[in-house]
Amino acid sequence: MIYLKTAEEIALMQEAATLLSRTLGEIAKWVAPGVTTLRLDTIAREYMQDHGGRPACLGYEGFPASVCMEVNETVVHGFPSNYTLREGDILGTDTVVELNGYCADMCYTFAVGEIDPKVRQLLVDTKESLAIGIAAAREGARIGDISNAVQTYCEKRGYSVVREMCGHGIGRKMHESPEIPNYGRRGIGPVLKAGMVICIEPMINLGSRNIVIERDGWTCRTKDRKPSAHFEHTVAILHGETRVLTSFDPIAEALGPRFI
């Protein structure tokens, strides 16, 4: 069942999304060699709570933290830890905040200091594939149009698309129908209707698309241990307009010229 949101509900979701974007902007100020991912998790949790939000990942199906930390070969759902970031790492920070009873979900992958040019390009292209997916997300289009746009863009550039994990609808719950795969055929799947709010989140690998779930039951990494990138926005489909509720602007502001 796909829940269509009223204008009032979307306004509330916009508030959650703005808080979330600012939270990632807060994380951005601290991402650097020498910082632990646990420290970043604490910064994000405190920022959400100080602004009336609830870190929705914390305790979600037993997830032990507020932010999923995706270091290098980690695709999604990594735990914050005492791992200390090093020059050359990439770090995806994926998190959900609940405010006013509604959730927003967003991810940005940071470069830690100077990184390998090929990996940097993976970040640039994955972020662009999210923009391409959003451009395909119009009232009257189908989910498959988004999926196909992301897949085509990434595979043309020699990357592979993770298939086991998808984007999703969002609202009172962080995961609602429909699923938004990052691969698939144009013209298939549910029609996008005004009032749908969805998360588009390409997870793109430098090597093969195969993944492994670690023994902790959560951490998802590439099988070949090559890097994986992940960007996500929460997007509202409106009559004749697609509105991206989350924003990378606070991250851009924090990173200055280092923003990808």
DSSP 3: P
Please choose which of Co ion, ligand MF3, none residue 146 contacts, taking the beta carbon within 5 to 8 angstroms, the exact cut-off set by kind: none
Please choose which of Co ion, ligand MF3, none residue 47 contacts, taking the beta carbon within 5 to 8 angstroms, the exact cut-off set by kind: none
Q: 233 near 17, Cβ under 8 Å? A: no
Distance of CA 244 to the CA centre of its chain: 13
Contacts of 215 (CB under 8 A, 6+ apart): none
The nearest distance, CB 242 to Co ion, in angstroms, is 17
SS3 content of the chain, % helix, strand, coil (to 5): 35, 25, 40
Q: 258 near 218, Cβ under 8 Å? A: no
Of 57, 91, 134, 149, which lies in the binding site for ligand MF3, with binding defined by CB under 6 A? 57
The nearest distance, CB 66 to Co ion, in angstroms, is 14
- 142 or 233: CB nearest ligand MF3: 233
The nearest distance, CB 223 to Co ion, in angstroms, is 22
Q: Quick one: which segment of 38-46, 57-65, 183-191, 207-215 binds ligand MF3 (CB under 6 A)?
A: 57-65
Residues near ligand MF3 (CB under 6 A), total: 9
Please choose which of ligand MF3, Co ion, none residue 104 contacts, taking the beta carbon within 5 to 8 angstroms, the exact cut-off set by kind: none
Residue 64 half-sphere exposure toward CB, CA atoms < 13 A: 9
- If one asks whether residue 17 binds ligand MF3 (CB under 6 A), the answer comes out as no
DSSP string, 130-170: HHHHHHH--TT-BHHHHHHHHHHHHHHTT-EE--S--EEE-
C-alpha–C-alpha distance, residues 26 and 12, integer Å: 21
C-alpha–C-alpha distance, residues 126 and 120, integer Å: 10
- 26 or 105: CB nearest ligand MF3: 105
Binding to ligand MF3, residues 29-48 (CB under 6 A): none
Distance of CA 132 to the CA centre of its chain: 15
The nearest distance, CB 240 to ligand MF3, in angstroms, is 28
C-alpha–C-alpha distance, residues 65 and 84, integer Å: 17
Binding to ligand MF3, residues 84-113 (CB under 6 A): 94, 96, 105
- 172 or 185: CB nearest ligand MF3: 172
Residues near ligand MF3 (CB under 6 A) are 57, 60, 63, 68, 77, 94, 96, 105, 232
